[in-house]
Amino acid sequence: MGIGRATALVLAEKGANICVVDVLPTEKTVQLAKETGRKALGIKADITNWQEITDAVKLALENFGRIDILCNIAGIANFPSLTFDLTEEEWDRTLNVNLKGTFLCTKAVLPTMIEQKYGRIVCLSSISGGLFGWPGWSHYAASKAGIVGFVKTVAQEVGPYGITINAIAPGIIETDLSEKAVGLAELKKTAKSVPLGRIGQPSDVAKVVAFFASDEAGYVTGQCILVDGGLSLGPAYE
């Protein structure tokens, strides 16, 4: 859904064959990707499960022969809960999906990328992953900040193999996930604080993912770029 679907479609439009991996149904995204004229495959898998992820990678290789790009976009944002009310289960689930999932998917594709001596890995962090703190989101912020540290370290490890890895930190993006987490009214209210005057769309992030996945970004690695309409600069003047 959301940023993941937008990314699949932008990459397909730019000539990539697409493998969509999600614990939720993938049929709609796969169909839309195929309508661009590219091949597309949907795989149901839990990114926190190593066996399911390695099986998904194997299936992708069987269908396409190689994996050039990995987009670590799947993630969750539970309803806010102040740290002193946050349960251990909520903390573990958020870190497992957002951070452990990123680790497992990256680890699973690295052998084939190392053998190819080529790869582009793009991970999704957040504006809350080290720049902003919002009450009730300590579990989410910790998971997204962890992604930035992960990216910077892995970049040093895989650079000699021609592999780049970068992160994107979106601001407030209008998706089903964000609407469920904070509500549409709150999203619209936040738009007043964005210098560009609007909430971001999934395609705004997807286009930056496509840049990192392209040869144009071949000398960029270990970086985290904000895609937030200027929100991190402070509130816009009315």
Domains by residue range for the chain, with CATH: 68-233 (3.40.50.720)
Residue 190 has pLDDT above 90, yes or no: no
Residue 195: exposure state from Cβ atoms within 10 A (0-12, 13-18, ≥19): middle
Give the span between the Cα atoms of 86 and 91, in whole angstroms.
Answer: 7
Mean pLDDT estimate for the chain: 92
Would you please indicate which residues are annotated as catalytic (active-site) residues? 140
Give the span between the Cα atoms of 64 and 29, in whole angstroms.
Answer: 18
Give the span between the Cα atoms of 213 and 192, in whole angstroms.
Answer: 32
Q: Are 204 and 185 spatial neighbours (Cβ–Cβ below 8 Å)?
A: no
Reported as a single tens digit per residue, the pLDDT across 48-97 is 999 999 999 999 999 999 999 999 999 998 778 899 999 999 999 999 99
Kindly indicate the confidence band of residue 181, based on its pLDDT and cuts at 50, 70 and 90: low
Reported as a single tens digit per residue, the pLDDT across 217-230 is 999 999 999 999 99
Which of the residue ranges 107-116, 125-134, 137-146, 174-183 would you say has the lowest mean pLDDT?
A: 174-183
Residue 179 has pLDDT above 70, yes or no: no
Structure confidence at residue 191 (pLDDT): 78
Give the span between the Cα atoms of 112 and 125, in whole angstroms.
Answer: 24
Residue 182 has pLDDT above 70, yes or no: no
Give the span between the Cα atoms of 20 and 29, in whole angstroms.
Answer: 8
Q: Sheet containing 119-124: which strands, arranged edge to edge? A: 69-72, 119-124, 163-170, 224-227
Give the mean model confidence (pLDDT) for residues 13-38.
Answer: 96
Q: Are 24 and 1 spatial neighbours (Cβ–Cβ below 8 Å)?
A: yes
Report the predicted TM-score, pTM, of the whole model to 2 decimal places.
0.93
Kindly indicate the confidence band of residue 235, based on its pLDDT and cuts at 50, 70 and 90: low
Residue 180 has pLDDT above 90, yes or no: no
Residue 166, both tokens: 């970068």
CA angle 10, 11, 14 (to 5 degrees): 90
Place of tokens 């549409």: 184
Structure confidence at residue 129 (pLDDT): 84
Give the mean model confidence (pLDDT) for residues 168-189.
Answer: 77
Give the mean model confidence (pLDDT) for residues 161-180.
Answer: 87
Structure confidence at residue 176 (pLDDT): 74
Structure confidence at residue 12 (pLDDT): 98
SS (H, E, C) the chain: CHHHHHHHHHHHHCCCCEEEEECCCCHHHHHHHHCCCCCEEEEECCCCCHHHHHHHHHHHHHHHCCCCEEEECCCCCCCCCCCCCCCHHHHHHHHHHHHHHHHHHHHHHHHHHHHHCCEEEEEECCCCCCCCCCCCCHHHHHHHHHHHHHHHHHHHHHHHHCEEEEEEEECCECCHHHHHHHCHHHHHHHHHHCCCCCCECHHHHHHHHHHHHCHHHCCCCCCEEEECCCHHHCCCCC
Give the mean model confidence (pLDDT) for residues 206-212.
Answer: 98
Structure confidence at residue 236 (pLDDT): 58
Structure confidence at residue 210 (pLDDT): 98
